[in-house]
Amino acid sequence: MLYYIKADKFLLENTAHGDGYLKVENGRFGELVSDIPDGVEVVDWGGHTVAPGLFDTHIHGIKGYDIMDGKLDSIQEISKSILSLGVTRFLPTTLTSSKEDLKRAILAVKEAVQGGLEGAKSEGIFLEGPYFTEKYKGAQNPSYFKNPDIAEFIEWQELAEGMIVKIAIAPEMDNATDFTKELSKGGVLVSIAHTDATYDCCKETVDAGARNYVHLFNGMSGLHHREPGVVGAALSDPRAFAELICDGHHVHPEVATMAYKVKQDKLTLITDCMSAGLMPDGNYYLGEYPVVMKDGIARTETGSLAGSTLKLIDGVKNLTEWSGEPLYKIWHRGSLSPAKSLGKADSLGSIENGKLADFVVLDEDMVVKATFIEGVIKYIREESI
């Protein structure tokens, strides 16, 4: 399959390129050119912007469905629902739960992926827990917290047939360093989360191979001038990526902007979206926790934030507005940075010759008009037909 995309603007990694034609051949991007050969197929999106597909590396659910449902239908519906939001790749994300529930969720993701997802493609499973500390538990059930266990992880990974690519732990837990070394050697992205660790403890865990901080500022010890804490470790270490939820509730806009200025391409925009995403206000669940959503904000019965209902494209819009940075720079924090964090930037995350042709068509208001995966259209907004 060979065609050229015509658009007014293309969001490239280092610039917003003007009018031109982008070659797509056999599901991969080709060159961006100003002239094309006679007789070739042209997909005309004149008046629109073409951007790389977004990659949500931390999403629990959406539209009433949760990864922890442990059902193939839930995985499929999440996969399909995020297409309209410009997301082409995602990591189905679990919660701290019983061993049986985690096994059921892992099996559901594996079977759904092996059977073929109809929407956005999964790039692996993210286990958020159960190796956390209670002080910063957030919306995680502390009755299941435990110390990192390599044998247990191997059991889960064998069940997943190698699909677990990311796991979050509290680095102050017993055996965290050895656990991190072992998993990192196997290519799993060990991440720091729900933790009261000191700066030195975090540094030791990064020295052991951890390379990511989960939802920066949330579920972790804060920055103090005499003890930098987890936040200080995340901001100061250039080796590690840091996730950010840019909904304006989890992190103040000025703090989010500061984090971007410090981390730059090591900042990863995520949603941490739960089942209430794209749904009306009301009562929902995040795993086992009853959650009330009011004015689009999801909280537990005790008032703690419970994930988010953020659309990743809105996170991009928000940080672009808050920071005053060009859209192409912030967009890639939701596409290329996630791919880099998982070692997948050679094939995903930006419009570059040879990469998989995952892309999104945007109108002037940043509304998603169409979403393509590997060059094939997977979603088109009804009025665009």
What is the length of the chain? 385
- Distance between CA 250 and CA 281 in Å, rounded? 18
Determine the angle formed by the axes of helices 176-185 and 199-207, rounding to 10 degrees. 30
Would residue 101 show up in a list of annotated catalytic residues for this protein?
A: no
- Contact between 336 and 349 under an 8 Å Cβ cutoff? The reply is yes
- Distance between CA 300 and CA 239 in Å, rounded? 34
- Distance between CA 144 and CA 59 in Å, rounded? 21
Residue from 69, 101, 272, 358 carrying the catalytic annotation: 272
Phi, psi of 47 (to 5 degrees): 85, 0
- Which of 342, 217, 291, 220 is closest to 66 using CA atoms? 291
- Contact between 125 and 109 under an 8 Å Cβ cutoff? The reply is yes
Beta partners for residue 242, in sequence order: 213, 267
Extract the runs of DSSP E, i.e. beta strands, from 301-375.
359-362, 368-373
| Residues classed as catalytic | 272
